[in-house]
Structure 1
Amino acid sequence: MFLLLALACVALAWWALWRTRRRRLLALADQLPGPPALPVLGNALMLIRNPEGIFVIFENLKQEYGRAFRFWLGLDLNYCISEPDYVKILLQSRKLNERGPQYKYMVDFLGYGILSGSGPVWRKRRKLISPNYNHKAIENYSYVFNEETGILLQRLRARPAGESFNIYEEVVKTTTYTVCQTLFGLSREQTLSLPYLQEIVNETHQMYAEAFMRMTKWYLQIEPYYWLSQYYPRHKKFIQKTKHMADAVVKHRVKKLDDTSLIELDDSEIANKHDMFSTADKLILAKSIDYDDMLKQIFTIFTTSQETSANIASFLLLMMAYHPECQEKLYAEIKEVFGEEDRHVTDEDVKRMPYLDMVFKEVVRLFPIAAMVQRTVMEDIDISHGVTLPAGSSLIVLIFHMHRDEQFWLDPDAFDPERFSPERSAARHPYCYIPFSLGSMNCLGRHFGTKLVKTICIRVLREFRLTSPETYADLKLLCAVSVESVNGYPVFLNPRLN
């Protein structure tokens, strides 16, 4: 009894001290409306449900409190924003150049990299590899994009006729082998020999889902509880597999650099010859990155490039299967550009395909790479009449919900590529659509992913008419950092005769 009383006194003293230290933040918290919060837990109990329910929870909160409301995730104060005027200011502000606290649950297997990092180290590393994602670099990747898509077509032709299957499982192989040959500079044979490659591809979805669970479920953020949970052993095994894979990438590239004497170049020579190096090479040659961290950076580049590209391509192909009239319109555009010729897709081809671009934009509107992004407020920032986001709080931009807001989009949940026609786009708020985020922390791989996805989809749809055993009304979504389909991406392949 005495022990319980002592623990209660300690807890009350700690709570009083916390409130004293955070009194300014607490005073400013109520400038925006939000749901009533419990001591310590805040509003965290609202998120104890499956990942499919997250979208509904935040949509209901938006409907009740508006496009700017507060939400306590434990002791962390979050301002949830889906108002384009605020988003424009906030995501481009230097006061919000740090990722939010929930990203720490991805650091174990991604390190402080492109997806989970921020600050000076993150900026230096992003600057280091940015040239490998620019337009010139992507032009040089075009041959691999097309060759791997050709191999994808061979696998699709060999599938049993009339059998429904999850097309993601085939597409992700293509994006995986493509990333390893382009961003890492490996040969196809070296790629196929990477240890645990297929296991990592198969398990990545689950790891992201579990990382998101830790971000949103308060009890999984208690370290002793997490260590005893079913997730921790799986998490540790996955990290070991990613390190083995990344280590093999490094060994292949070190041998290549040694064989060509490039590893002996000094920093100024490396800067002058940066076009000769893959992203892996640049991390290997950087003097300030320790080996373990380098392995995490390599895995970050891998997963943010191959998994997201496969996800978008699979959604695009599934949308075509669900919407045959859109598929036929896109097929007509493909035929107009390519005729009867089965050849590589070029940048000039893509530029001549406005309807493909509208389809792509509609897909990433409905299924954005990141459903929501979180930033730490480093300094007080004013967002409107007398409303200040205080330092120490966090900003959450509800991208998914802004992309489906009926004030900005007619029939927002419908699939309608024509909403991205020049006329309709011009009449819309320019910041209600941010599929690749905004500002200095925008998606580095957006051009890489766009070109790869379009190459895959052009060549698959040129050869096959897709249908699905499901309809668009059957589609169920979950949030696992990115937006995913609960039931996969089931399609039938119907070979075209002309």
Structure 2
Amino acid sequence: MLMLLAFACVALAWWARWRARRWRLRTLANQLPGPPALPVLGNALMLIRNPEEIFITFGKLKKEYGRAFRFWLGPDLNYCISEPDYVKILLQSRKLNERGPQYKYMVDFLGYGILSGSGPVWRKRRKLISPNYSHKAIENYSYAFNEETGFLLQRLRARPVGKSFNIYEEVVNTTTYTVCQTLFGLSREQTLNLPYLQEIVNDTHQMYAEAFMRMTKWYLQIEPYYWLSEYYSRHKKFIQKTKYMVEAVVRHRVRKLNDTSLIELDDSEIEFNKHEVFSTVDKLILEKSIDYDEMLKQIFTIFTTSQETSANIASFLLLMMAYHPESQEKLYAEIKEIFGGEDRHVTDEDVKRMPYLDMVFKEVVRLFPIAAMVQRTVMEDIDISHGVTLPAGSSLAVLIFHMHRDEEFWSDPEAFDPERFSPERSAARHPYCYIPFSLGSMNCLGRYFGTKLVKTICIRVLREFKLTSPETYADLKLLCAVSVESVNGYPVFLKPRLN
């Protein structure tokens, strides 16, 4: 009893000291509405629920308090924003160039990479690998995109007609092998022989979900509790597997660099040598300021943010076509007009001639954005409007998922309607209510890579197969963790088309 009383006294003293030191933060917090907060815990108890319910909670808070409200996660003050005028200012501000504090739970298995990092070192790394995601570089990836999609079609042809399956499981293998052969510079044989590759692909969803749980559940942020949990044990095993896989990638590229006498190049020559583009892995190997363990995490970040995200978008697009036969037939007619009955490689010129495909793609990433929300740390006080100041030391959470489904900006926002991205309807809409790849200096680096890969896969799959699903759009349940996912997978039936 005495120990419990002592603990209570210590907790109360800590809380009183925190309130005194954070007086200004608490005062400015009251400039925006928000739910009543408990001592120490803040509003954290509101997030102790299933991951698929957390964003329902944020949706209710948005409905009650508006597009700008405050939310206390323990002692951390968060501003939840889904007002486009504010988003435009905030995500492009230099005062918000640091990831939010919850990203630290991604750092354990991603390091300070392009997804979880920020600051000068992060900017240097991003600048180093950005050319590998440019339009020019992606032109050189077309062959790999198409070849791996060809192998995907072979696997789909071998599936029994009339039996549903989760198409993500096939698509993610395609995006995985493609990333390894483009951004990593491996051969297909080297890719298929990487240790633990398939296990990592299968487990990545779970690891992201558990990282999100740590972001939102206060008790998992208590390190001793986390170390004793089943999550920590799984996490350590996953990290070990990723290390083995990435070390194999590095060995392949070091061998290649040595064989072609590229390892001795000066920094100024890192972009090209004899017209050969360096892979992202090559550039990190040649970067002298990065230590070995951090390099491995950087490489895995590039891997998972490219293959998993692309597979997710492609699977959603194909599932939406299965749910919406009229849209599928309209898209098929566009594909048929360009490709006829020929199964050939998709070119950039082909994609440019497909406006309906572009509308379908945009509608998919509106409904299922790559990041349901993004968080930034407020480094300096920043005024947003009408005397409202976000104070230094607080965090900003931009609710992209909810902004994309706000009925003020989108008619019938829950419906799947590619026509809402026609030029006429797009021109009449607020330009910042749609940010599927985020905004500003920390936007999605792989947006061009992913867009082209997804469109290549979907064109060739839909040219050859008619898709249906054992479920309907009304049955779709979403899990909004680090990204937006379908709780029940992506179940489809395939029916070969007669050319």
Question: TM-score, normalised on structure 1?
Answer: 0.99
Instruction: Report the equivalent of 2:368.
Output: 367
- Aligned CA RMSD, in angstroms, stands at 1.0
How far apart are residue 459 of structure 1 and its match? 0.1
Give the Cα separation in 2 of the matches to 1:149 and 1:282.
27
Q: Distance in 2 between matches of 1:273 and 1:404?
A: 49
Question: Once the two structures are superposed, what CA deviation does each residue of 1:115-169 show, in whole Å capped at 9, x if it has no partner?
Answer: 0000001000000000000000000000000000000000000011111000000
Q: Kindly provide the CA deviation profile for residues 317-370 of structure 1, in whole angstroms up to 9, marking residues without a partner as x.
A: 000000000000000000111112211000000000000000000000000000
SS at match of 1:79: strand
Specify the alignment match of 2:242 in structure 1.
Answer: 242
How many Å apart are 1:480 and its aligned residue?
2.1
Q: Is the 8 A contact 1:466 1:492 kept in 2?
A: yes
What are the superposed Cα offsets for residues 448-488 of structure 1, whole Å, 9 maximum, x if unpaired? 00000000000000000000000000000001200000000
Question: Mean alpha-carbon deviation: is it higher for 171-180 or for 274-283?
Answer: 274-283
Query: Residue deviations 1:57-87, cap 9 Å, x none?
Result: 0110000000000000111100000000000
User: Which stretch shifts more, 16-25 or 121-130?
Assistant: 16-25
Match of 1:309, SS? helix
CA distance in 2, matches of 1:274, 1:233: 46
1:467–1:493 Cα contact (<8 Å) kept: yes
Gaps of 5+ in 2: none
After superposing on structure 2, the runs of 4+ consecutive aligned residues of structure 1 that deviate more than 6 Å are none
Distance across 1 between alignment mates of 2:404 and 2:269: 45
CA–CA distance in structure 1, aligned partners of residues 156 and 75 of structure 2: 50
Instruction: Assess if the C-alpha contact under 8 Å between 1:74 and 1:218 holds in 2.
Output: yes
SS in 1 for 2:436: coil
Q: 1:145 to 1:193 in 2, by over 3 A?
A: same
Contact 1:196/1:241, CA 8 A, preserved across alignment: yes
1:28 aligns with 2:25: no
Q: Deviation per CA, 1:358-410, whole angstroms, max 9, x where unpaired?
A: 00000000000000000000000000111000000000000000000000000
Q: Secondary structure at the match of 2:140?
A: helix
- Give the conservation status (yes or no) of the 8 Å contact 1:209–1:479: no
Once the 2 structures are TM-superposed, how far is the Cα of residue 276 of structure 1 from its aligned partner?
2.2
CA distance in 2, matches of 1:70, 1:237: 37
SS in 1 for 2:276: helix
CA gap 1:327/1:242 in 2 versus in 1, 3 angstroms: same
Distance in 2, matches of 1:26 and 1:266, equals: 52
1:490 to partner: Cα distance:
0.1
Aligned-pair CA distance for 1:274? 9.1
Residue in 1 that maps onto 2:485: 484
Q: How far did 1:423 drift?
A: 0.3
Deviation at 1:268, TM superposition (A): 2.2
How many pairs does the alignment contain?
Answer: 497
CA positional deviation for 1:11: 2.0
Instruction: Report the Cα distance in structure 1 between the residues aligned to 2:304 and 2:341, rounded to whole angstroms.
Output: 35
User: In terms of mean alpha carbon deviation, does 220-229 or 304-313 score higher?
Assistant: 220-229
SS at match of 2:310: helix
Partner Cα distance (1:472, 1:273) in 2: 51
Distance 2:180 2:436 in 1: 25
- The percentage of counterpart residues that share the same residue type is 91
The alpha-carbon deviation at position 12 of structure 1 amounts to: 2.1
1:260 maps to which residue?
260
TM-score (norm 2): 0.99
Work out the CA distance in 1 between the residues paired with 2:424 and 2:4: 68
Q: In structure 2, do the counterparts of structure 1 residues 226 and 273 end up closer, same or farther at CA, with 3 Å as the change threshold?
A: farther
